[in-house]
Amino acid sequence: MQNSSFDVINLSAESAAAATYNNHPIAKVNDHEVRIATMTEPYHWHCHPDSDETFLVLEGGLFIDFDDRTVELLPGHLLTVNRGVRHRTRPIGPRSVNLTFERANARTEPLPPPRE
């Protein structure tokens, strides 16, 4: 991740090389990070006890599963998951590219799936 405030970040280049799951920081905003995630498979159930997490879909689509519902995000859609809320993300189709915004060094706590 570059530190200069004058570096232009090419989002297409950041996600082009990812053939499988890849999630890495691309920018900092105060005490938060902007991350780009390329998803080709579901991510495990988890929560962030110390940070909200905002998703902005760039390419493909994203399902965000919660205990009681699933939300579908398409390119240009944005959703914030409040801190402490159990969720998992999974791509719609073979690939999804998203930006996430969360506190830098936010903890990710793996959780079991909800009971069915």
Average of per-residue pLDDT across 16-21: 82
Average of per-residue pLDDT across 71-94: 98
Quickly name the fold that domain 34-110 has.
Answer: Jelly Rolls (2.60.120)
Please say whether the beta carbons of 91 and 41 come within 8 A.
yes
Kindly calculate the radius of gyration of the chain based on its CA atoms and give it in whole angstroms: 14
CA distance 31 to 102: 9
Q: Please choose, from the candidates 87, 77, 74, 82, the residue with its C-alpha nearest in 3D space to the C-alpha of residue 43.
A: 87
pLDDT of res. 19: 80
| Domain boundaries along the sequence of the chain | 34-110
pLDDT of res. 16: 84
- Token pair listed for 73: 């995000």
Q: Using the predicted structure, report yes or no on whether residue 92 has a pLDDT greater than 70.
A: yes
Name the pTM for this structure.
0.91
Q: Please choose, from the candidates 71, 78, 79, 75, the residue with its C-alpha nearest in 3D space to the C-alpha of residue 96.
A: 75
